[in-house]
Amino acid sequence: MIIIMTENLIPNQDRDFEVLKSQILKDKGFDCNQYRDTYVKRRLAIRIRANNLYSYRDYATLLNSDPTEYNELMDAFTITVSKFFRDASVFDYFRKNVIPSLIQDKRRKKQKIIRIWSAGCASGEETYSIAILMYDFLGANPENFLISVHGTDIDGDSLAKAKKGEYTFDEVKNVGADSLSLYFVFDHGRYRICDEIKWLVKFEKHDLTSGKPLAHFDVIFCRNVSIYFSRAMHERLHKEFYNALNTDGFFVLGKTEMLYATARKLFKPVNAKEGIYKK
C-alpha cells in the first residue's frame, strides 16, 4: 500500500512534531521554531518519504540511530532558488533611483566606502547582479569609491558555487547581452564572472536566525528569504537589518513580502511596489 504524505502527515502528531523539533534543536542547534510550521512540516515530509517512514516519531528514531541523516535534513531545509536580476523591475528601479541617490549621499558626506549586503544569497546570482550594477554605474567615473558586496547564506554548497562564479547558459539568460559580454567570460561551455566584478564581492557562511549581527551597510537585500520564517522571526530580522544599516540606508525586500509591527515605523517606503524601503 502506498501512503501519500501531506504537510500534516497522519492525524494527532502535534506532540510528536514538537518533540522532533526539540530533538533537532538539541542535536544540531537548528531552531525550527524560527520558521513557519507549514514550511517545517513540508521539509520534514520530504525526508520522511525518502526514508519510507510514516510519522514524526519514526523519523526521530532514525535520527537517533543514524545521525548522518541530519546532513540530508539540513539540505532539505535549505532553499537555493536564485536568478540573475530576478524581478527585473526591482533591479531597474535600483539602478535608476537607488544607486544615484546613494552616490549623491556619499558625495555629500564625503565618504568613499559603499557596503551592500545580499542576505540569503544562495549561489550568488543576486550578489553578482548588484555588483554588476554598481560597477556599471561607477565604472566610467569611479571617483575612488570602494565598493563591497557581501553575500551570505547558510548553505555551504551554494556558497562554493557562488565563490566559483561559473554559470550555465540557462542560468545567465536574464543577463542582458551587453552585460554578458562585458562582465562574463565564456569558457568551456560556461559563463564565468570576470575578475573586475569578483573583486567587489565577498561570500561568507551566515545563519540569519542565529549568526552574529552584521553592521555598517548602506544597502541590504533580503528578498524571498523571510517568507519561510515565523512572524516573530520576521520582526526580529527586520529590526536587526535596521540596526545593520547606516543612516539613510536602503532595505530591499521581496515584492510579495511585508514589513510587520515596529518595522513599519523603522522604515519608510521608497517604492513599496518593488519592496524598497529606507531607514
Element (H, E) at 233: helix 231-244
pLDDT at 7: 45
CATH of residue 39? 1.10.155
Q: Do 267 and 178 share a domain, yes or no?
A: yes
266 part of a folded domain: yes
Q: Do 122 and 223 share a domain, yes or no?
A: yes
1 part of a folded domain: no
Looking at 27, 52, 77, the residue that finishes a domain is: 77
Coil/strand/helix, residue 153: strand
Q: Do 30 and 139 share a domain, yes or no?
A: no
- For 3, 78, 260, the CA distances from 118, given in Å and listed in that order, are 41, 16, 21
Low-confidence stretches of the chain (pLDDT beneath 70): 1-12, 79-81, 140-142
164 part of a folded domain: yes
Q: Which of 176, 114, 181, 123 is nearest to 151 (CA)?
A: 123
Q: Which residues pair with 191 in a beta bridge?
A: 167, 186
pLDDT at 72: 87
Looking at 57, 77, 97, the residue that finishes a domain is: 77
pLDDT at 262: 86
Q: Do 36 and 72 share a domain, yes or no?
A: yes
CA distance linking residue 165 with residue 159, whole number of Å:
10
pLDDT at 80: 65
Q: Are 196 and 224 in contact (CB under 8 A)?
A: no
CATH of residue 121? 3.40.50.150
Q: Are 39 and 231 in contact (CB under 8 A)?
A: no
Q: Do 63 and 187 share a domain, yes or no?
A: no
Tell me which residue range forms the domain holding 204: 88-278
226 part of a folded domain: yes
pTM of the model: 0.81
Angle between helices 56-65 and 69-77 (to 10 degrees): 130
Q: Do 45 and 164 share a domain, yes or no?
A: no
Q: What is the 8-class DSSP label of residue 93?
A: H
The number of domains in the chain is: 2
Q: Do 211 and 259 share a domain, yes or no?
A: yes
Q: What is the 8-class DSSP label of residue 84?
A: T
